[in-house]
Amino acid sequence: MNSSTSWQLATKPKKWPPDNAMSYTIRAALYDGQQRLESASPSAQLDARVLLGEVMQMSHAQLIAHDRDVLTPTQQRHYDEMLKRREAGEPVAYIIGRRAFYDRDIIVTPDVLIPRPETEHVLEAALEFASGKADVMAVDVGTGSGALAVTFKARMPNATVYATDISEAALHVARQNANVHRADIHFLHGDLLKPLIAQQIRVDLIMANLPYIESGELPQLDVSHYEPHLALDGGDDGLDLIRRLLRQAGDVCNPAATILLEIGATQGQATLELARNTLSPAQVDIIKDLAGHDRVVRIIL
């Protein structure tokens, strides 16, 4: 019997804290956490494991290897508090203060959107564009946590990278991530590309994961309960900020520049038309995600 199965078969504590707190093991805590989160999360087992790993400062492998270790009263209380927050719907990333993105952990707070795996498609296309080039001038527009800018700079140390955001609070988080990952990035406060236009900065690459959820759809989504609406609301058709960015792009792009825009799964054709009508690019195409959905519009000027 493997450890995962043994956790599922462990006796569930009848109350919190358990009557015999001195025997509340990692195995029992994982079972208890999974049971408590079943109605709140589709990934209850994973969430319980991540939260307990944070409390115990252990990896998944260490939790398995030490599943008979007993939690201290302080660890039990900490775990209970985390579970309560998750039961209420708060994302795990906000509870533990970070989210894995590409090849590193990114600090997150409720001031920024939690990085998604889908955004890694923007990063991969950006890295492909920059590969083999001696120097690249790049900007991450609406940087939020800085996940794109920081990871791109870490992978392309010779690139000059700017990052803009209209939210000072978001830029504070992005600067923390840049410091942690030793990424030298020029952060600029302002709306979309306006800070670059004001300083007459021109770039070879624009990366952007802008808000693209339709305003009318947003209140119905769980994501709207905790993540900042400023980073989610894309206007009536979800394309308001993309539309504005494309109108500004001509003032900052060098010849043959590339623009990479993350989009919603149904926004591919509309964004292609916007790009063609606004910029008359040499080439424009759609990059699909692993599920086969439209995910990134790539524009080559």
- Answer whether residue 152 is part of any domain: yes
pLDDT single digits (tens) 9-40: 344 444 555 555 568 899 999 999 999 999 88
Does one domain contain both 142 and 65? no
pLDDT (tens, 9 = 90+) of the chain, 301 residues, equals 344 434 443 444 445 555 555 688 999 999 999 999 998 889 999 999 999 999 999 999 999 999 999 999 999 999 999 999 999 999 999 999 999 999 999 999 999 999 999 999 999 999 999 998 989 999 999 999 999 999 999 999 999 999 999 999 999 999 999 999 999 999 999 999 999 999 999 999 999 999 998 888 888 888 878 888 888 888 899 999 999 999 999 999 999 999 999 999 999 999 999 999 999 999 999 999 999 999 999 999 9
CATH number at residue 15: 1.10.8.10
Torsion-angle region of 142 (φ positive above 0: left; ψ -120 to 50: alpha; else: beta): left
pLDDT at 232: 85
Does one domain contain both 16 and 149? no
Does one domain contain both 73 and 146? no
Does one domain contain both 89 and 130? no
Q: What span, in angstroms and rounded, lies between the C-alpha atoms of 116 and 95?
A: 16
pLDDT at 40: 87
Question: For residue 255, what are the domain limits?
Answer: 109-300
Single pTM value for the model? 0.88
Does one domain contain both 278 and 202? yes
Domain count of the fold of the chain: 2
Which of 33, 65, 96 is at the close of a domain? 96
Does one domain contain both 90 and 113? no
- Answer whether residue 104 is part of any domain: no
Does one domain contain both 79 and 157? no
The CA distances from residue 144 to 13, 148, 204, 211, 242, in Å, are 41, 9, 21, 11, 16
Does one domain contain both 178 and 86? no
Does one domain contain both 176 and 291? yes
- Answer whether residue 142 is part of any domain: yes
Does one domain contain both 120 and 246? yes
Does one domain contain both 186 and 290? yes
Does one domain contain both 289 and 225? yes
- Answer whether residue 101 is part of any domain: no
Which of 33, 61, 96 is at the close of a domain? 96
pLDDT single digits (tens) 136-190: 999 999 999 999 999 999 999 999 999 999 999 999 999 999 999 999 999 999 9
pLDDT at 74: 95
pLDDT at 1: 37
CATH number at residue 127: 3.40.50.150
Which of 96, 124, 151 is at the close of a domain? 96
